[in-house]
Structure 1
Amino acid sequence: MRDCLDINHAYEILGLKPGVSQVEIKRAYRQLVKIWHPDRFIHPQQKEQAEAKIKQINAAYNLLKSESPTVTTPAAPSPKHSPNISVNRFDAESFYNYGVESVGQGEYQEAIAYFTQAIRLNPRYIEAYKYRGFVCSQLGYEYRAASDLNKAAQLEGKIPTVTSFSRVKYKSQRPSLVAKWCQKLKKLLRWR
């Protein structure tokens, strides 16, 4: 089904205009799935129609989520027409920004996924570790939060890394760093 679906039709199925962000695409997809989920219908004919609609929605979403956001830059002007060059911008900073946007909208699971993707693209992205640690802390994932915040501290050189050859004893430094960063991030979010 995906082969016969073009991108403009996919946007139309989800009720969106071309060029919207991945966050908006996901939001529209979730709303439509809630409306058209076959389990909501009792009558067999309605259930069958809902299954067909869900297949269309899933195909459209899968096509659009694989599309990367683009930035259109005008090329050198020509007398007859000026073509546009599309540049893909799917870097760690973009995912980090999507994560920050998701946190602002209260979509914490999506934010964690975006921060994780940013870290995959740039394993030394300190701010992504800090923000993901804060979000995990907000959701009650304390061990994961501590891990992320400790990794950020290691990257900043504030605490030494532990190797298999040397053991470093942490007194009360680890919990205080975690608590300190959580407090800083909480203050940052309150100002937004």
Structure 2
Amino acid sequence: MDPYKVLGVSPDADKETIDKAHKELVKKYHPDRFTDNPLRDLAEEKLKEINEAYEIIKKSPSYTGGRTGGGYSGSSGSTGDFATVRNYINAGQISTAEGMLDRMNVKTAEWFFLKGLCAIKRGWQDRAYSYIQTAVNMDPGNQEYRFYLNQFTARTQTYRNYGNNGGYSSSDSCDCCLNLWCADSICECLGGDLISCC
């Protein structure tokens, strides 16, 4: 979840703009507006998401005027370079963000976290998990890192369950051909012919 997208503001929006957007969305999705309406549950869900996004943004240094916190846009006391890398990631300029990270000498928890975000954007799930796990291990108290690790783990758990025969069989085209050949052989032994060309 990108909290800025949830609130409909840009990552460089000022405090007043963020507060105004939050207030308008709370009014729009407040459950009291949906009494005796089947959309009430959806409105409550959306309101919860809006409030979570707002809380994440409120903890960010850009919102608090530079103090450290656990927000999305520069948590854990990000230096100016890390904030710039985050802006590049948010803008989809992953190569530029990675280039900046690769030129940094010190590899902090923030560095590993941002490398993980870049890997996610590139679809490199194993690398992303490894980077974000390292960030959490280096800074276990950082709620932003932990949030992303939990989201990542929940999202990939279903995939891994299916990949380990939890939902799909592991047959491939060779198994299919082998099964057809066996079925044809059995049919021929019994006087029939499943596949006439064999």
Give TM-score scaled by structure 2 length. 0.32
Write 1 or 2 for the structure with the bigger share of helix: 2
Write 1 or 2 for the structure with the bigger share of strand: 1
